[in-house]
Amino acid sequence: MKNPEAASKQFLRLIEILEKLRGPDGCDWDRVQTARSLIPYLLEETYEVIEAIEEADTDHLKEELGDLALHLIFQAQIASEQNKFDIADALEHISTKLIRRHPQVFNPEDSNSPEENGRRWESIKQAENKRENFLDGVPKNLPALTRARRIQEKAANIGFDWKEIEPVWDKVHEELAELKEACAENDRDKMEDELGDVLFSLVNLGRFLELSSEEALRRTISKFESRFRGIERRLRAQGKSLKDSTLEEMDLLWEAEKKTASG
């Protein structure tokens, strides 16, 4: 950090501003908020940070990180008012935990391979949280693709994983074949089950390729939206609308949008 004193000053300033907003002469909206009522806004700010990162928008990222920091402090402030803990307790907890979980960094004599460090990280977490099952601890409310990736990573950290990518490709093809078979049988429950298996196997393939399935899908969605808006724009220029157009006409415009984007 280039200027830790300035960071500390602004951090304390934000805490003081929030305390004032929550005070008797503060903001009516801020005073009535609870930890639970703020969840939608916390999620929104988190996704806005992700969007800024994906768009490589530095100014937007700076702004959104500040908004997210506000919500983290807001949660701690509410807990402090209820005499549960304050932001200092939360920061002390994470600092201590990081040191404890990285003995290979903070204890120079403790050196292992990256694979061994990953397995030990998970073992330390299991012991700290008194978890009965190794896959516990991955939030159920995570986006499904992200949660699948985290589950796979945890399993891989204790050696439940293929060593090479070829069996992963084989699994993708196997699951696709089983989905096709379920569709031929018109078995809705089996189709849903097999579709889930296909998606899970593709997430695993992405993990082996060191690609995020969540980010890849968001990127594809954005690309689809952009091209579809291009179709609408081209149709408006022709004095037409989507409702007035055939699939063949829209498909031609879709291909034109693809060529424009690639060119």
**Phi, psi at 66, each rounded to 5°:** -65, -45
Give, for 194, the enclosing helix (H) or strand (E): helix 188-208
With respect to residue 61, please indicate whether it lies within any of the assigned structural domains. yes
Confidence (pLDDT) at 140: 87
Confidence (pLDDT) at 110: 62
Confidence (pLDDT) at 236: 94
pTM of full prediction above 0.85: no
With respect to residue 151, please indicate whether it lies within any of the assigned structural domains. no
With respect to residue 204, please indicate whether it lies within any of the assigned structural domains. no
Confidence (pLDDT) at 125: 62
Number of structural domains found in the chain: 2
Confidence (pLDDT) at 44: 92
Confidence (pLDDT) at 118: 60
Domain that holds residue 229: 215-262
The closest of 199, 191, 64, 70 to 143, measured between CA atoms, is 199
What is the secondary structure of 87-118 as a DSSP string?
HHHHHHHHHHHHHHH-HHHHSTT----HHHHH
Which of 46, 65, 100 finishes a domain?
A: 100
With respect to residue 58, please indicate whether it lies within any of the assigned structural domains. yes
Confidence (pLDDT) at 65: 97
Which of 56, 81, 100 finishes a domain?
A: 100
Confidence (pLDDT) at 114: 61
With respect to residue 208, please indicate whether it lies within any of the assigned structural domains. no
Task: Kindly give the parts of the chain with pLDDT less than 50.
Answer: none
Confidence (pLDDT) at 102: 84
Confidence (pLDDT) at 122: 61
The closest of 175, 167, 137 to 153, measured between CA atoms, is 137
Question: Between the CA atoms of 222, 224, 226 and 232, what dihedral angle is there, to the nearest 10 degrees?
Answer: -150
With respect to residue 60, please indicate whether it lies within any of the assigned structural domains. yes
With respect to residue 182, please indicate whether it lies within any of the assigned structural domains. no
Per residue in 134-167, pLDDT tens?
Answer: 788 888 888 999 999 999 998 998 889 999 999 9
Confidence (pLDDT) at 75: 97
CA–CA distance, 13 with 66 (Å, rounded to integer): 12
CATH number at residue 31: 1.10.287.1080
With respect to residue 223, please indicate whether it lies within any of the assigned structural domains. yes
Which of 59, 78, 100 finishes a domain?
A: 100
